A and B are shown apart, each in its own frame.
Chain A
Amino acid sequence: MTLKKFAVTFALGSIALLTAGARVSTAQSHVNSPDPLLGTPSVATETSQVNGLTGHAEEGKHQYRRFCIGCHGPDGNGQGMNAQWIDPQPRDFTEATFKCRSTPTGTLPTDEDLFNAITRGFVTTNMPSWRPLNPQQRADLVAFIKTWSPRWAKEKPGAVLNIPPETAVTIESILHGRELFQKLECWKCHGPEGHADGPSASTLTDSKGNPIKPFNFSTGERFMCGDSNRDLYRIFMTGLDGSPMPSFADVIQPNDAWDLVHFLRTLQVALPNNQELTLWQSYKAAHGKDLKPIGPDSAGGAQ
């Protein structure tokens, strides 16, 4: 008897709590509705389409407030309360400039690009992998992030870079990639050995004027925008907008790009199971003395 009463009280109490909760939460269901923690996004709402999921900005707003606000800030401008301690600085969503894109430089990334960035995180920064959030939550976040800039309402993402099938890893491919590394001046920032110590490395700033370091191939196992050869291909072809890393899409042919990928892999001396490196090391053991070192001295020879 008493147990029954307990159960009834519990049920009624819970229902009352939930009803109260529902009232509060429905009041927050619109992106532009006032929230003391969030500024006003520049567009009312957005959706995202990722892998068959539809993301809703109204839901993403709650996720943003829970997970993102500390760094990216209540106004989406990358000035959250932790931002001052973070290097590189958190992304400013109001500019709609993103590093990891499959689209040409100067264009908006696809929803999938943003989704992948959230999922993967950026290993060289404070941005963690948000894979623990379920795909729907991540899709919702993509939709909400897009409300911070009016560009999303006006423009379409650029055309996705077409990545042809990878060519065979051969020593010729690596050698040609090495020539490109010299000719395209990659070493000016990334250094002749990929140690991030090129002559311009110390002068680099991002587009907001904050100092930024080039990627150090010799220590880094993973890249900011992924860890596969295709990711590496995409990174230099589309460039990392907002950073000093330019797009090479207009100046490298697809096959040449794979050659460059294969050469860049040989710089990753800390990466385990690195077939390009193995091939390269055996070649270097035999022909190392014939190789012209990369750098200013061989500037004429590489052309």
Chain B
Amino acid sequence: MRMKFFAALGFTVAMGSALMVFATPPPAGSGSITGKVTYTGTPMKMKPIDMSKEPSCAKQHATPITTENVATGQGNTLEWVVVYISAGDEGTTTPSQGVRYDQKGCQYLPHVLTMLAGQQLQIYNDDQTSHNIHPLAKVNQEWNKSQPPGSPPIDTKWDKPEFIAVKCNIHPWMHGYFAVLKTSHVSVTGEDGTFDIKGLAPGKYTVTAWQEQYGTKTQDVTVGAGAATANFVFTATPY
């Protein structure tokens, strides 16, 4: 028991040192999975947000921003889709660096933030107004904190994988997501709907795409030396 503990400790220290020595590029393969996420059907219309009740935010947006539940691009692409390896090599353990989440112009930046379970998360209020950050966690524990302008960042982390909706009750239009995962092999689609999961060793993987309104889609992908392709198509509904 005790031997095992020391062995584990030694291993962890060794791994940690290795991580520190080799720093950023994860010690993995050169394979990758790329692809595009699109939809068929008619997605709901994203509505412009009226921030007139919060002038300090409204003036930061020349044109009103829209809601982002189903953000789309040219060619029926879907933005803010989290594509990650749900089975197979799940990548690294706890990373050394934290991730940053911003409240700016009464908007969450980024709209969907991915992180590892246990990864440090810092939440900033860059606005001249008070926000309350209210992650509606179900698997993890929900909390709700006020953050007036000029407050230090809220330093926190999530212990269990979960897609956590985040809202600000003071500014009801503010809406975002924490994608807490147990893999670092993850990519979030841009406006063009593309993603690129890098650093994969050759092998078989299960890839999952999650969209906040339409749920998840999964497919198996075999990765060789180069880039494998996986495209996802969600069925959009107008409501």
Which residues of A are in contact with B by a Cβ distance under 8 Å?
95-97, 104-107, 151, 183-185, 188-189, 199-200, 203-204, 207, 239-251, 296, 299, 303
Contacts and interface: CB of A to CB of B under 8 A. Distances in A.
Given A244-B134, A251-B148, A299 B142 contact: no
Contacts of A188: 130, 170
B-side binding surface: helix, strand, loop or mixed? loop
Contact of B172 (A104, A203, A249, A299): A203
A247 B53 CA distance: 23
A199 B172 CA distance: 10
Given A200-B170, A246-B169, A296-B53, A184 B142 contact: no
Given A184-B148, A185-B170, A200-B172, A241 B129 contact: no
B130 A184 contact: yes
Nearest to A107: B141
Sorted from nearest, which 4 A-B pairs have the closest CB atoms?
Answer: A106-B143, A244-B169, A246-B132, A203-B172
Contact of A184 (B56, B136, B146): B146
Residue among B138, B146, B149, B172 with max Cβ neighbours from chain A (10 Å): B146
Q: Give the size range of B's interface with the partner.
A: 20 to 34
A200 B171 contact: yes
A104 B144 CA distance: 10
Given A199-B53, A244-B134, A246-B134, A251 B144 contact: no
Interface of B: 53, 55-56, 128-130, 132-134, 136, 138, 141-149, 151, 154, 169-172
A246 B146 contact: yes
A187 B54 CA distance: 13
Nearest to B133: A246
Nearest to B132: A246
B146 A303 contact: no
A151 B145 CA distance: 21
B169 to A, nearest CB: 3
B170 A189 contact: yes
Nearest to B131: A185
Contacts of B147: 250-251
A189 to B, nearest CB: 7
Given A189-B170, A207-B136, A246 B141 contact: no
A303 B128 contact: yes
B142 A106 contact: yes
B141 A204 contact: no
B147 to A, nearest CB: 7
A177 B53 CA distance: 23
Given A243-B144, A246-B134, A250-B147, 20 more contacts: A97-B142, A105-B144, A105-B145, A106-B143, A183-B148, A184-B146, A185-B148, A200-B171, A203-B169, A203-B172, A240-B144, A241-B143, A242-B142, A245-B169, A246-B145, A246-B169, A247-B145, A250-B146, A250-B154, A303-B149
